[in-house]
Amino acid sequence: MDNDNKLDRFLKLGKAGEGTYGVVYKAKNKLTGKNVALKKIKLQKFYNKGCSEGVPSTAMREITLLKGVRHSSIVELLDVMYTTDKLYLVFEYLDLDLKRYMDHSKQPLEAELVKNYMKQLLDAIAYLHSHRILHRDLKPQNLLVDKEGHIKMADFGLARSFSLPTRTYTHEVITMWYRAPELLLGEKMYCTGVDIWSLGCVMAEMLMKRALFPGDSEIDQLYKIFRIMGTPQEDDWPGVQLLPDFKAAFPKWLPKNLRDIVKFNNTEEEILLKEMLTYDPAKRKTAKELLKYNYLKTAKLTTPDLTAFPVEETIDEAGPS
């Protein structure tokens, strides 16, 4: 079946979001009746810009990586279709992203829901890292949730495979607020710890309903971290002063007690978060190690309250053009 005929299977129900390289629509598969997320990428904009046949590198990376992974907490790429000037990625559909859910929730996330989400996310990250894949852009906007209590990682445009020993990669990855301190200090030899730090920031945001380190520039981001975690020293992070962007003139802040900033539901939450927000990447626990913590062993599927998020069924009769 050619791609034009395959596209006819889908009926657009409305726009679900928009990113750098394309628009995401909620659509329905006419054959199965199931909803999907349809990411449309216009190819002509990328010709002659170093992209493979006009396909942006982020889309190529996402397709390549997602075709090789299968996990209950990673969004599934169902199909790839193309026309002469457009590329369509068909994903399983979830109700909304974690950022929107937190922004519109009247109450902080329930303790059991936070635990449930963290168990699923760490399980997914352990799976990715065991397959030598870094996500590199974990943030609430890239985590999708549904009414059954599932949470799934999406948007693998910045993800990449890694090898051991680690190679030199660009440090200009991961949205600022969730970027690990080693990246902000110019480290180019990094590994799985960057995803763990990002997840720690996400966990703190679930507990606080606001970002823990909301910097507006790289230096402001560092200072936001330093003011809470303390300015890193050689005794707690050996080699930190040798990183390219570390300055001896950095202000010397002492670490604050996280309990004064984050409203923990219990001590186990605090322990898990501190392990994830450890300065020294060599001492930062892996996802596999964190999954052994008693806190996560009692996690169970917990249903979020999505009653405040009515699903709009605005039909676009024009189809996915």
* Residues that are catalytic: 137
Q: Are 75 and 124 in contact (CB under 8 A)?
A: no
d(CA 186, CA 227): 19
Q: Which residues pair with 35 in a beta bridge?
A: 28
User: For residue 232, which phi and psi values (nearest 5 degrees)?
Assistant: -65, 140
Concatenated DSSP letters of 81-112:
EE-SSEEEEEEE--SEEHHHHHHH-SSPPPHH
* Alpha-helical runs (H) found in the chain: 3-7, 57-66, 98-104, 111-130, 181-184, 193-208, 218-229, 267-276, 287-290, 294-297
Q: Are 315 and 236 in contact (CB under 8 A)?
A: no
Our CA angle for 153, 315, 304, nearest 5°, is 35
Concatenated DSSP letters of 244-274:
TT--TTS--PPPPPGGGTS--SSHHHHHHHH
Give the number of C-alpha atoms closer than 13 A to the C-alpha of residue 296, restricted to the C-beta side. Answer: 17
d(CA 201, CA 221): 13
DSSP 55: B
Q: Token pair 């596999």 is at which residue?
A: 288
